[in-house]
Amino acid sequence: MAIKAFRGMPPFSQFLFTIFVVLVTFLIVFTLSMLIAIPIFGADTLFSQFTNLDYTNPTTINLLKYMQTVQSLGLFLIPPIIIAWLFSGSVKTYLHLNRDFKFNLVLLAFLLIIAVNPAINFLGSVNENMRLPEWMAGLEAKMKTMEENAALLLEKFMDVKTMGGLLFNLLMIAVIPAFGEEFLFRGVIQKIFTGWTCNHHWGIWISAILFSALHMQFYGFIPRMFLGALFGYMLVWSGSMWVPVFAHFFNNAIGVIGLFLINKGTIKPEIEKIGSGTEQLPIAIISISLTIMLLYFIYKQKGKHLLLPD
């Protein structure tokens, strides 16, 4: 049974309490992870790696992968489960994990992720060419440095040649984020803002903006926001959290497997850039058209599964 004081909280209080739970849970998980890391990596190694990050050192990369996994668990996966229990008493019901859905919705979600990728790449290229006002040049330089560091770290994470390395990357980048980020942003935050505004569209787009902002990558903000909105509409129209979770997994897994095959020389690196740049505008237009068509098919499936604002 949920604690009634939490169940009756107004949306604004729910949102503030959600932030509180996320921060406290992350601090607890982070502290425990450090205690666990000491016997694994050694206290001296742990301290030296954090004070002097060396991306050429395999130990550093392993430690950062460990911390990335811990961050995903502490920030995204565990908090929404706690929040769902406090607000509802039933995690499955609150997060829409107990709702039936048609398998063809998962297939449509997979096809949608394939179709939308060139359009996402196009939005990414537009986003990358955006410039802040001159008086914000210092901030822009810092954001570029952050983007470059994030890209370098991702490159090191993806630099694996074995099946074991690929499977761990899929767990770290595709499986855990698919569950955690969808549970938190679509399952909790979208629900809160939908109830607050009594409008699904507001709930979807506000949660999508927060979803993108939390990644702290300005030059990928727009495409990530649109992906978040797509996941939000999938939840509303299907009535089941499993559909956006599968879609999120497909999106991340395609990227992980693609980079794995690129690193092995199986496919060409250019495949990552399909749709990006003005010279590939026709491909982006086709991608957008297919995306709209597939979204329409998903929308037509909504029927009795359509979620209504609380």
d(CA 271, CA 251): 15
pLDDT tops 60 at residue 67: yes
pLDDT digits (tens, 9 = 90+) for 10-42: 999 999 999 999 999 999 999 999 999 988 888
pLDDT band of 306, cuts 50, 70, 90:
low
pLDDT tens, position by position, 216-258: 888 889 999 999 999 999 999 988 999 999 999 999 999 999 9
Cβ atoms of 104 and 243 within 8 Å: the answer is no
CA angle 11, 12, 17 (to 5 degrees): 95
pLDDT tops 80 at residue 100: no
How sure is the predictor about 308, in pLDDT bands with cuts at 50, 70 and 90? low
Q: How confident is the model at residue 6 (pLDDT cuts 50, 70, 90)?
A: confident
What's the average model confidence in pLDDT over 85-109? 89
pLDDT of residue 304: 54
User: pLDDT tens, 131-156?
Assistant: 878 887 788 788 888 888 888 889 99
Question: pTM to 2 decimals?
Answer: 0.92
Residue 1 has pLDDT above 90, yes or no: no
- Segment 69-85 shows an average pLDDT of 96
Residues 6+ apart with CB under 8 A from 303: none
Residues 214, 77, 186, 247, CA torsion sign: positive
pLDDT at 310: 53
What residue ranges do the domains of the chain occupy? 1-94, 100-310
Q: pLDDT (tens digit, 9 = 90+) per residue, 157-203?
A: 999 989 999 999 999 999 999 999 999 999 999 999 999 999 999 99
The mean per-residue pLDDT over the stretch 76-104 comes to 91
For helices 221-238 and 200-214, the axis angle rounded to 10 degrees is 140
For the cut 90, the answer to whether the pLDDT of residue 50 exceeds it is no
Q: What percent of the chain has pLDDT over 70?
A: 95
What is the DSSP-derived secondary structure letter of residue 98?
S
Measured in whole angstroms, the distance separating CA 64 from the mean position of its chain's CA atoms is 18
Please tell me the predicted confidence (pLDDT) of residue 305. Answer: 57
